[in-house]
Amino acid sequence: MTHQELRRALRVEPENGLVDLGDYSTDRVHVGPKSKKKSQHRLDAMADGLAELQERLYAAATDGDHRSVLLVLQGMDTAGKGGVIDHVVGLVGPSGTQIRAFKQPTAAERKHNFLWRIRKALPAAGMIGVFDRSHYEDVLVPVVHDQLDDAERRHRYKLINDFEAELSESGTTLIKCFLNVSYDRQRDRLLARLDDPTKYWKFNEGDIDSRRQWPDYRWAYAEALAATSTEIAPWYAVPSDHKWYRNWAVATLLLDTLRDLDPQYPLTDLDLPRLRKRLAPPN
Amino acid sequence: MTHQELRRALRVEPENGLVDLGDYSTDRVHVGPKSKKKSQHRLDAMADGLAELQERLYAAATDGDHRSVLLVLQGMDTAGKGGVIDHVVGLVGPSGTQIRAFKQPTAAERKHNFLWRIRKALPAAGMIGVFDRSHYEDVLVPVVHDQLDDAERRHRYKLINDFEAELSESGTTLIKCFLNVSYDRQRDRLLARLDDPTKYWKFNEGDIDSRRQWPDYRWAYAEALAATSTEIAPWYAVPSDHKWYRNWAVATLLLDTLRDLDPQYPLTDLDLPRLRKRLAPPN
């Protein structure tokens, strides 16, 4: 199994409290498929395992097991959060997943602490929750717009780490993925939207404005990852210039996590003969 | 296309205000695949169409189109609500669907009108909502337990019809499926759960008790379907003794509905040359 190796290779490990995103490939790492064709085969091969392990997680929850999984997806525009949801999360089966997308907070949401809306969206026991953007937007965006001073940033990172520690203690395993796309590949993908009328609706000129702030976003991500890649909730920097590699990598992280959890169908004390008799035809 | 034909064949049409469930097959009707093998092929062939039409529905919503779809799944235990979700709804892609399961109402939910929790779970514009059980439980269960007199039942049916008319007016197309399984096939499926330790967790002795009330449930369903199979929100009685036929039929109803809606990618007035120039490399 190359799984543990992938986790090691992608895991964000701050050095002296700092992260240099330049250390993390947007292309691929030494583990995993080397071509699109091979990746599709390997992705398909994970589908049954993902579905079965989620069913076991759910079955265990019906018997009091409180565990759940939360996949957090962050990344610049075009990095592929939606693609991961359709092509990786889609392998699990919809009845086992809870997907929540976080847009700009509404007026009502802004009246609360930034974790308020997040807490309401947490996965139930037995489920795989997926966050399409997350509480990390509430540090990244204001940091880029220079709205938080050092002390405020540190305070938010602490709140996030405390929150994630609490989640972990209550049985939720976090898989935090930074979908790492390069500046050039983002341009290619944005240009592609302008070449295809069925993709015009995805185009938002604000994406170009955010792109102009690329260095600021990279800085904000580097600081946030450094501050919150903890032992219990590490970040993974997922190379995302190739959709096939990105999807394979996230699926592998998810499958690997579920295998570690190793949920079991509950032992039950069904009185089989009596139940079978009750179900026998009346005549 | 046999689609319109399927809708006609499965549609519940009360006669003189009454429905006899005996008129509706649990096996199959004259439309559609005749074997499991053929059904799988035909189901797979619908996947791209379902995903594309949902994407168009979503794209249109970004441009002010308020339409959505709501698939309501009802049926006796083992009829296959979960199976439809995994094998039909799963074809759409998770980012385009909102699945809600309704269990016994909680104490907080019981303090409100029975439609309160339903309203909070309606799909957003552009989405396909799926109800695994629904507001219909709030007539079926109390009717079986003899907790609603004639006037109260009529009142609830009226509330439901008004609610669904309101949904329809605000752009939500309902597809209400009664997954119609036979008494014998239910026994087979319950017995199968007793033969497979990985299915024990699904077994609930309460299901046998409900099965003992089979005639009461059939009566309650017949009355509810008769009262609420309206022009704008008809019921479909989906033969559900064969999983492959059931899945094909629900997928066909869903695809057919999306084709009728015929959502379009929005026309946009992007200034392509200017945007391309903004995206060009800086040097």
B44 touches chain A (CB under 8 A): no
Looking at CA atoms only, how far is residue A152 from chain B in angstroms? Answer: 34
Q: Are residues B203 and A90, on separate chains, in Cβ contact within 8 Å?
A: no
Q: Are residues B200 and A276, on separate chains, in Cβ contact within 8 Å?
A: no
Percent of chain B with pLDDT over 90: 93
Give which of B196, B210, B279, B283 to mutate to test A binding, by max A Cβ within 10 Å: B279
| pLDDT confidence of residue B73 | 98
Q: Does residue B152 belong to any structural domain of this protein?
A: yes
Q: Mean pLDDT over residues A252-263, rounded?
A: 97
User: Taking CB atoms and an 8 Å cutoff, what residues of chain A touch B200?
Assistant: 265-266, 268, 270
Residue-wise DSSP of B36-71:
HHHHHHHHHHHHHHHHHHHHHHHHHHTTT---EEEE
First vs last C-alpha separation in chain B: 55
Q: Mean pLDDT over residues B114-122, rounded?
A: 96
Q: Does residue A270 belong to any structural domain of this protein?
A: no
| pLDDT confidence of residue B66 | 97
Chain A, residues 71-110, CB within 8 A of chain B, namely 82, 85-86, 89-90, 93-95, 97, 99, 101
Residues with Cβ within 8 Å of residue B16, at least 6 apart in sequence: none
Q: Mean pLDDT over residues B149-177, rounded?
A: 97
Which has the closest alpha carbon to B43: B96, B97, B92?
B92
**Is residue B2 pLDDT above 60, yes or no?**
no
| pLDDT confidence of residue A62 | 93
* Alpha helical stretches, state H, chain B: 3-10, 36-61, 81-87, 107-110, 116-119, 137-144, 150-169, 183-194, 205-212, 214-228, 243-261, 272-279
| pLDDT confidence of residue A236 | 98
**Is residue A283 pLDDT above 80, yes or no?**
no
User: Taking CB atoms and an 8 Å cutoff, what residues of chain B touch A201?
Assistant: 59, 62-63, 265-266, 268
Give the domain range for residue A57: 3-264
Q: What is the mean pLDDT of chain B?
A: 95
**Is residue A67 pLDDT above 80, yes or no?**
yes
pLDDT tens string B221-276: 999 999 999 999 999 999 999 999 999 999 999 999 999 999 999 988 899 999 99
Question: What single DSSP character describes residue A241?
Answer: S
Q: Does residue B71 belong to any structural domain of this protein?
A: yes
| pLDDT confidence of residue A282 | 59
Q: How many domains does chain B have?
A: 1
What is the β-pairing status of strands B97-101 and B68-75?
Answer: unpaired
**Is residue B173 pLDDT above 60, yes or no?**
yes
Residues with Cβ within 8 Å of residue A72, at least 6 apart in sequence: A131, A134, A136, A174, A175, A176, A177
User: Taking CB atoms and an 8 Å cutoff, what residues of chain B touch A281?
Assistant: 184, 187
| pLDDT confidence of residue A280 | 82
A266 touches chain B (CB under 8 A): yes
**Is residue B125 pLDDT above 90, yes or no?**
yes
Q: What is the mean pLDDT of chain A?
A: 95
Confidence band (pLDDT; 50, 70, 90) for A189? very high
Question: What single DSSP character describes residue B123?
Answer: P
Q: Are A88 and A244 a contacting pair, CB within 8 Å?
A: no
Structure ipTM:
0.89
Phi, psi of B252 (to 5 degrees): -65, -40
**Is residue A2 pLDDT above 70, yes or no?**
no
Confidence band (pLDDT; 50, 70, 90) for B3? low
What is the β-pairing status of strands A68-75 and A128-132?
Answer: parallel
Torsion over CA: B266, B271, B274, B277 (sign): positive
CB-closest option in B86, B93, B194 to A276:
B194
Q: Which two tokens stand for residue A237?
A: 């920097």
| pLDDT confidence of residue B282 | 59
Looking at CA atoms only, how far is residue B155 from chain A in angstroms? Answer: 33
Q: Does residue B281 belong to any structural domain of this protein?
A: no
B187 touches chain A (CB under 8 A): yes
Q: Does residue A30 belong to any structural domain of this protein?
A: yes
B282 touches chain A (CB under 8 A): no
Residue-wise DSSP of A89-105:
GGGT-GGGEEEEE--SP
Phi, psi of A96 (to 5 degrees): -105, 5
Confidence band (pLDDT; 50, 70, 90) for A268? confident
Q: Does residue B271 belong to any structural domain of this protein?
A: no
Q: Are residues A266 and B187, on separate chains, in Cβ contact within 8 Å?
A: no
Q: Are residues A95 and B201, on separate chains, in Cβ contact within 8 Å?
A: no
| pLDDT confidence of residue B93 | 86
Residue of B nearest to A58 (CA): B201
User: Taking CB atoms and an 8 Å cutoff, what residues of chain A touch B278?
Assistant: 208
Q: Does residue B116 belong to any structural domain of this protein?
A: yes
**Which amino acid appears at position B265 of this protein?**
Y
Q: Are B275 and B215 a contacting pair, CB within 8 Å?
A: no
pLDDT tens string B73-90: 999 999 999 999 999 999
Percent of chain A with pLDDT over 90: 93
| pLDDT confidence of residue B268 | 81
B215 touches chain A (CB under 8 A): no
CB-closest option in A63, A90, A194 to B93:
A90
| pLDDT confidence of residue A3 | 65
**Is residue A177 pLDDT above 60, yes or no?**
yes
B265 touches chain A (CB under 8 A): yes
- The rounded distance, in Å, linking the Cα atoms of B237 and B108 is 33
Q: Are A174 and A70 a contacting pair, CB within 8 Å?
A: yes
Q: Are residues A95 and B93, on separate chains, in Cβ contact within 8 Å?
A: no
CA-to-CA separations, A90 to A132, B130, B167, in angstroms, rounded: 14, 16, 28
Q: Does residue B50 belong to any structural domain of this protein?
A: yes
CATH number, domain of B174, equals 3.40.50.300
Confidence band (pLDDT; 50, 70, 90) for B167? very high
